[in-house]
Structure 1
Amino acid sequence: MTLPSDVQDRLTCVANLLARPGQLDGVRIRCGAELLLTAVERSVARACGAEDSDEPAQALLISLPSHVDADVAYDVSQLWHALSRAIRHHGYELTPTAAELAGWHADTADVCAVLQPPLTLSGTIDLPEGTGETAAVR
Structure 2
Amino acid sequence: MTLPTNDLLGAADRLLNPPPEAPSTLAPGLRARAAAVLLRLALDETLDVFWGDVSSAMTRNGRSRMLCLQWYIRPSVARQWHTTWCALSAACHHHTYELPPTPAEVRAWHQDVTELLRVLPSARI
Instruction: Tell me which interval the TM-score lies in, with the shorter structure as reference length.
Output: 0.7 to 0.9
2:91 is aligned with 1:86:
yes
**How many positions carry a matched residue from both structures?**
114
1:89-127, CA deviations, whole angstroms, 9 ceiling, x for partnerless residues?
A: 311112111101111111110011111368xxxxxxxxx
Percent identity between the aligned chains?
Answer: 30
* Letter of the 1:43 counterpart: T
Name the structure 1 match of 2:104. Answer: 99
Partner of 1:57: 62
Q: Deviations over 1:71-97 (max 9, x none)?
A: 100000000000000011311112111
Structure 1 unaligned regions, length at least 5 = 119-138
Q: Deviations over 1:43-73 (max 9, x none)?
A: 2222233696651431110111121101100
Point out the structure with the larger helix share: 2
Aligned Cα RMSD in Å? Answer: 2.4
Asked if 2 retains the 8 angstrom alpha-carbon contact of 1:21 and 1:98, the reply is no
TM-score, length basis structure 2: 0.79
Provide structure 2 residue ranges, at least 5 long, that are not aligned to the other structure.
none
Report the TM-score, using the length of structure 1 for normalisation. 0.72
Specify the code of the residue in structure 2 equivalent to 1:25. P
Cα 1:26/1:56, change in 2 over 3 Å: farther
Match of 2:15 in 1: 17
